[in-house]
Amino acid sequence: MRASNLYAPTLRNTPAEAEIVSHQLMYRAGLMRKSAGGMYNFLPLGWRTIRKIEGIIREEMDAAGGQEIMMPILQPSELWEESGRWAAYGAEMMRMKDRHGREFCMGPTHEEMITALVRDEVRSYKQLPVMLYQIQDKFRDERRPRFGLMRSREFIMKDLYSFDKDVEGMNESYQKMYDAYSRIFTRCGLEFRPVEADNGAIGGGHSHEFTVLAEAGESSIACCTKCEYAASDEKAELKAIVAEQEEMLPLEKVATPGTNTIEKLADFLNVPTAKTIKAIAYQTDKGELVLAFVRGDHEVNEVKLINLIEDAQELNMAEDEAINAAGGCPGFMSPIGIKEGIKVIVDHTVMHMYNAVTGANEVDAHYKNVTPERDFNKEAITVADIRMVAEGDACPKCGAPLTMSRGIEAGQVFTLGTKYSEAMGATFLDEAGKEQPLVMGCYGIGVGRTMAAAIEQHNDEDGIIWPRAIAPFEAVVAVVNAKKDDQLQYGEEIYAELKQEGIDVLLDDRKERAGVKFKDCDLIGYPLRVTIGPKAVEEGVIELKIRKTGEVITCSREEYLEKVREILKTL
């Protein structure tokens, strides 16, 4: 490919809407352009990277036993009715009707579709296991599409689904995918952590997210400073913190005017926030009131909370009327005195506190010397881990401190069990001739998000620094003055030689000033630049510049090829 023919419009300035570096650089380097909110066109350079990431994914999926298929993007509502997700999937699902009034959605994921596909054909355990995947556009009408390809509405996903005859088989498939994902992200040149994750709306058994470490990421992960434990902040398990034993003082109601926040309360009573108990009132999408209590300096983990409530898809802040009707008082809540039948969920750490402060369920009043073990009606409450992890919390495995990092969820693997196969009647006959539901897993990678993550991790003030495996071109031959025939001719020869070597190389033969070209090369981020200028023509001296280190190596015409091979191996 010649740069003179390449459609790669680079920009000197950053578009205002691009907040994070990957978004800015994808624009500036001419990799993509926006078409509508959360929807993008890929230009040739961007698409080359996408194709390379897809290539790596394909190789690893095939090596792990996957077979590539392609399913339609539009999915009939009937399939989603069968799984119950037509009603359960919220506004993120883009729905539409065809000319006959039949309802469809743009596939946000394909569990239903593939289960329907496989149930019609798989009859016997002898046909199992099966692993099928596709690489295709998904559509999710995200509440806040942002950060370019990181959170878009239409995005490319590789989704693989595994079907096994039993849980043991499912776990083997899961492990194969886990290992394949580790290889994929390693080959893409990314620093990542597989972390234990919540299953979210997909449901089923256990899950890992593959999180690429980057400050701009929307995920927060907790990693143990001593053992290998790592989990997303939503998932990170926490043991109860047992407070030092104190003499239990008698419960006492005190006037606390205007102290409707934990900070004001702690200030007023002159106690640390860790001696108070904080209440958050929620209402589920079905309207049920849920009162959550954590230690004053802790935060409620809404994912853990929702997992404890049957039949809830969403939690919203509760209306004051609902709190009052339950015997509570907004800003001054306590489990003591709440009406029977109201859902009260208390973090297990709270149950190990002594002489703490809670609201008194009336305006401007609190209880002092609350010892939950003694004062809460244990029959009426649920005690569980509902707290959000924070820096320094104890690792649930070894007790060492956890440290928090930010990252980008580039992929996720799930075991699904029989959730979809049972709902949709996808069965097979086992060895004994008995009908059994298929045991499933599903495994997704965001291709565009992986590309964005790579840029977040690999860039400097001049532009992108691609890992070689996913660079749009591995190397560029930059002709310093392409208006000079001898330089251009020399460049053509070098370009031909590198291509002959099997190197994915671009010839920058544009009749631009050298400065402009070099700036573009740095911005686009080709791993290696081979510079052909007067020195090459006159003295046979070729300059190699490594984008990552900025190192410049000069070599002779005879030795340059060996040197190029050597350098590329390290990038």
Q: Applying CB under 5 A, which residues contact Mg ion? A: 412
Rg (CA), the chain: 29
Cα 546 to Cα 526: distance, rounded to the nearest angstrom: 9
Which is closer to ligand ATP, CB of 157 or CB of 281?
Answer: 157
User: Least distance to Mg ion from the beta carbon of 149, Å?
Assistant: 16
Q: Which residue is nearest to Mg ion (CB)?
A: 412
Which is closer to ligand ATP, CB of 156 or CB of 360?
Answer: 156
Q: Which residue is nearest to ligand ATP (CB)?
A: 446
User: Measured in Å, how far apart are the chain's first and last C-alpha atoms?
Assistant: 21
Cα 175 to Cα 438: distance, rounded to the nearest angstrom: 18
Cα 98 to Cα 107: distance, rounded to the nearest angstrom: 15
Q: Note whether 525 and 475 are within 8 A (CB).
A: no
Q: Note whether 385 and 352 are within 8 A (CB).
A: no
Q: Note whether 317 and 283 are within 8 A (CB).
A: yes
- The residue count of the chain comes to 571
Partner from ligand ATP, Mg ion, none contacting 410, C-beta within 5 to 8 A by type: ligand ATP
Which is closer to ligand ATP, CB of 30 or CB of 448?
Answer: 448
| HSE-up (13 A, CA, CB side) for residue 354 | 8
The three-point CA angle 545-547-551 to 5° equals 50
User: Least distance to ligand ATP from the beta carbon of 1, Å?
Assistant: 28
User: Least distance to ligand ATP from the beta carbon of 310, Å?
Assistant: 22
User: Least distance to ligand ATP from the beta carbon of 51, Å?
Assistant: 17
User: Least distance to Mg ion from the beta carbon of 414, Å?
Assistant: 8
Partner from Mg ion, ligand ATP, none contacting 176, C-beta within 5 to 8 A by type: none
Partner from ligand ATP, Mg ion, none contacting 25, C-beta within 5 to 8 A by type: none
Question: Strand 402-417 to strand 219-224: parallel, antiparallel, or no bridges (unpaired)?
Answer: antiparallel
Which is closer to ligand ATP, CB of 66 or CB of 359?
Answer: 66
Q: Which residues of 362-394 are buried (b: 16+ CB within 10 A; e: fewer)?
A: eebbbbbbbbbeebbeeeebebebbbbbeeebe
Partner from Mg ion, ligand ATP, none contacting 547, C-beta within 5 to 8 A by type: none
User: Least distance to Mg ion from the beta carbon of 209, Å?
Assistant: 6
User: Least distance to ligand ATP from the beta carbon of 216, Å?
Assistant: 13
Q: Note whether 537 and 530 are within 8 A (CB).
A: no
Which is closer to Mg ion, CB of 150 or CB of 544?
Answer: 150
Partner from ligand ATP, Mg ion, none contacting 140, C-beta within 5 to 8 A by type: ligand ATP
Partner from ligand ATP, Mg ion, none contacting 338, C-beta within 5 to 8 A by type: none
Which is closer to ligand ATP, CB of 449 or CB of 529?
Answer: 449
User: Least distance to Mg ion from the beta carbon of 224, Å?
Assistant: 22
Which is closer to ligand ATP, CB of 306 or CB of 350?
Answer: 306
Interface positions with ligand ATP (CB under 6 A): 109, 140, 142, 151-152, 155, 157, 200, 409-412, 444-446, 448-449
Full strand arrangement of the beta sheet holding 356-359:
252-255, 365-370, 356-359
Q: Note whether 347 and 293 are within 8 A (CB).
A: yes
Cα 474 to Cα 465: distance, rounded to the nearest angstrom: 11
Which is closer to ligand ATP, CB of 195 or CB of 386?
Answer: 195
Cα 534 to Cα 540: distance, rounded to the nearest angstrom: 9
Partner from ligand ATP, Mg ion, none contacting 152, C-beta within 5 to 8 A by type: ligand ATP
